[in-house]
Amino acid sequence: MTALLDTNVLIRFLTSDKTKKFRGVYSFFESLEHGDLRIELTLIVLFQVVFVLKSFYSVPRKDITAGMMGILEYKGIIVRNVDEITSPTIHHSFRPPLSGLRSQKY
């Protein structure tokens, strides 16, 4: 069983939240980056993060893309069924498209 990454945790990390509550999130993501921990990022959480960053935080699309593409390269983050992302709207939200990302199937 693989743990799931929560939208709030990912938002806090990407927005550099410095509150006491999320202080430990940075070491958590370092562990994910190096593959010391493994966690699943579901497509719905991925889409929620993009929506929140764009609509609530007014983060420019290029910055969302850069942040998310960086996170998706972390060794400890598993994304299943990436190949199901076929909507032109989704591809438009991520420039460059997610076509280079490979789905991990277990």
Going by pLDDT thresholds of 50, 70 and 90, the confidence category of residue 6 is: very high
Q: What's the DSSP call for residue 75? A: T
pLDDT of residue 25: 87
- The verdict on pTM exceeding 0.75 is no
- Whether residue 53 lies inside any domain: the answer is yes
- Whether residue 105 lies inside any domain: the answer is no
E strands present in 14-106: 39-40, 77-78
**How many domains does the chain contain in total?**
1
User: Within 13 A of 86's CA, how many CA atoms are on the CB side?
Assistant: 3
Between 30 and 23, the higher pLDDT residue: 30
pLDDT tens for each residue of 39-94: 999 999 999 999 999 999 999 989 998 888 889 899 999 998 766 654 444 445 54
Sheet holding 39-40, edge to edge: 3-4, 39-40, 77-78
Domain span at residue 40?
Answer: 3-100
